[in-house]
Amino acid sequence: MTGPELLLRGPDVGQVAAALELALRTHRRDGHAPGGQLRDVAARIALAVPLVAACLPALLDAAGAEAAAAVREQVAGVAGSKTGTRPTPLGVSEASRRAGVSGRAVRAAAAAGRIKAAKHRVTGQWMITVADLGEWMEQRAA
């Protein structure tokens, strides 16, 4: 990457990661793949804030498989509890795909409290654990 180096610290990196996530989603929606420099920036940001990046699928995709694997490894190492590692939450699109319902249905259930979910503090997106999604799917089936 040529040009001046960019130094971000503290919450600025998380905010840049969230903004880049939104830009990458728009880029993807418009049918564009991120170029080499954008992939490099995505990888650097993902590795700088792995706990944030783990919840930003477009950022991890743009960062590449190697950076995404490193992020997941770092998150698994710091997100441990007495019983093991904390599960990586799912976004609405992945949760809706797994449940076989629309994203709107998942968001409505989360907002109404029918499914245990939390809004990501940086992106504002609903995040749902696999276990909570399974409980909700069982409740819906009953």
> What is the greatest pairwise CA distance in the chain?
59
pLDDT in 10s for each residue of the chain, 142 residues: 455 566 666 667 778 888 888 888 888 888 888 888 888 888 888 888 887 888 888 888 888 888 888 888 877 765 454 445 556 788 898 888 888 899 999 999 999 999 999 988 878 889 998 888 888 888 887 6
Torsion, CA 119, CA 53, CA 71, CA 25, rounded to 10: 110
Q: What is the pTM of this model?
A: 0.51
